[in-house]
Each structure stands twice: as C-alpha cells, then as structure tokens.
C-alpha cells in the first residue's frame, strides 16, 4: 500500500544566468513497511529528490502526497510540524547535538515531536530504543566519545524514537567501513519491518542494496528504472 508518493516533481537551480534543471518530472511511490533505495551516479538528483521529499527544500513544481495531502503546498510551519512528527532523518554524518548525551538526544526528539508520553513512559521508550540499537550501556555518553558506527546507530534511534511514518536516510553508510555499513543497513531494514515504517534511502553502495525491498534508479534528473 502506497503511503507516500511523488508526482511530476521538478527542481531547477539558477546558476548565474543559467537555469539548471536537476529534477525533470520525477514520479515514484513508497510502500508501507518497505525499504526503498534511490541509486544513481553523482549528479543524478537522488539526494535533491530525498531532501525535497523530506520537506527540507521546496520543489519547483509537482506534488508530494502524504496521507492524501499535497505537502509540497504546505507553508513553512506546516512542513516543520510534518518533519517533527511524521518524518525521521538519518544523514550522511550523524549530526548529533554535540552537547547532549545519547539519552538527551532522544529526549530532545520526543520533545520536538510533542510526544504525549509522560516522563516515565518517555524513559521507558528511550531505554527500549537504546536496547534495540544496542547502545543501552552508552546512555550517558556524549557523541564525541562514540565511534562512527555508534553515532549512526544513535542517529537512527533519534530518527525513529518518535515513531515516524517515513524514515529518510541520505547515504547513511557513506562514512562507515564495510562491516559497520552492513550493521547500519541491517538495523534500518529490521526497524522498518518491526516498526512498520516506510524508508527511503539514498545510497551509491551497491552492496547495501541487499538490505532493501525496492530499488529506484535515477539518471540525469529522471527515474530510469525500478526493481525489486
């Protein structure tokens, strides 16, 4: 069942006097409980598409349908609320808040998502999530004391602690070695299934495709092909 779809999305940038079209009418849809990978060469527009889909930048044209509404037409505040409550993000770098402990990173996300859980329930949720990403023992550690793999696991935990509907991941394994990359992708795959969320992941690493359900290949701003 499609929970999220992108319809005829265009994106142009003005570079000096030249207008460059990065996305030339992209259509795709994401299925609930599935990991979809966006692949393609550098400059194919995959990261731009992901950031537009995630509401991090506007499209020049087209529709982004989520829960039967065109969120591309939302104003800044409406988009912020969607990002806070319905979406989760994992970036290439973990982008953790350097002065918050692991536990506090997750608490902040629950705060931002305006959770209805009480303090005790929040704590239980955090403990459960840290157990899932196998970082219960690093609860009070700051990001500076974590390894690259651990940081990405915290980033994943932060991205899904508020139980979003969609998880966006932009090259989440780009800065990790092969072993840790596999661990991170396994975790994303597992959480997508167990929490019944929908994941869109951008990757250029073909080895990671073993962990996805659906593949969309992009070239020169258009979808070249789809596969399972």
Binding site for other proteins (CB under 8 A): 51, 56-57, 80-81, 83-85, 89, 91-100, 104, 107-109, 111-113, 142, 158, 170
Residue 96: DSSP 8-state: -
Residue with Cβ nearer other proteins (63 or 92): 92
Residue 72 near residue 63, CB atoms below 8 Å:
yes
Residue with Cβ nearer other proteins (161 or 212): 161
**CB 85 to other proteins: min, Å:** 7
Helix 148-160 and helix 102-112, axial crossing angle in degrees, nearest 10? 30
Residue 168 CA from chain centroid, whole number: 1
**CB 51 to other proteins: min, Å:** 6
Adjacent-strand bridge partners of 64: 6
Residue with Cβ nearer other proteins (65 or 112): 112
Residue with Cβ nearer other proteins (135 or 202): 202
SS3 211: helix
Residue with Cβ nearer other proteins (34 or 156): 156
**CB 142 to other proteins: min, Å:** 7
**CB 56 to other proteins: min, Å:** 5
SS3 221: coil
**CB 177 to other proteins: min, Å:** 17
Enter the tokens of residue 132: 């899932």
Angle at the Cα of 108 (from 176 to 211), degrees rounded to 5? 35
* Beta strand residue intervals within the chain, DSSP E: 2-15, 18-31, 35-40, 61-66, 69-70, 87-90, 166-170, 198-202, 214-219, 222-227
């Amino acid at each position: 069942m499609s929970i999220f779809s992108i319809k005829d999305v265009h994106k142009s940038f003005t570079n000096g006097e030249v207008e460059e079209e990065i996305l030339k009418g992209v259509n795709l849809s994401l299925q609930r409980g599935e990991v979809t990978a966006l692949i393609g060469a550098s400059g194919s527009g995959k990261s731009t598409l992901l950031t537009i889909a995630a509401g991090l930048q506007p499209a020049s044209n087209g529709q982004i349908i989520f829960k039967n509404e065109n969120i591309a037409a939302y104003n800044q505040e409406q988009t912020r609320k969607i990002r806070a409550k319905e979406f989760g993000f994992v970036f290439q770098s973990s982008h953790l808040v350097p002065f918050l402990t692991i536990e506090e990173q997750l608490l902040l996300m629950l705060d931002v998502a305006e959770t209805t859980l009480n303090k005790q329930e929040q704590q239980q949720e955090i403990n459960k999530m840290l157990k899932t990403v196998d970082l219960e023992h690093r609860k009070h550690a700051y990001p500076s004391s974590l390894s690259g793999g651990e940081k990405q696991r915290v980033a994943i935990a932060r991205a899904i602690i508020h139980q979003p509907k969609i998880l966006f991941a932009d090259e989440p394994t780009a800065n990790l070695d092969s072993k840790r990359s596999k661990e991170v992708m396994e975790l994303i795959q597992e959480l997508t299934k167990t929490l019944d969320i929908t994941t869109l992941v951008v990757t250029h690493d073909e080895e990671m495709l073993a962990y996805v359900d659906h593949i969309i290949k992009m070239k020169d701003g258009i979808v070249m092909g789809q596969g399972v």
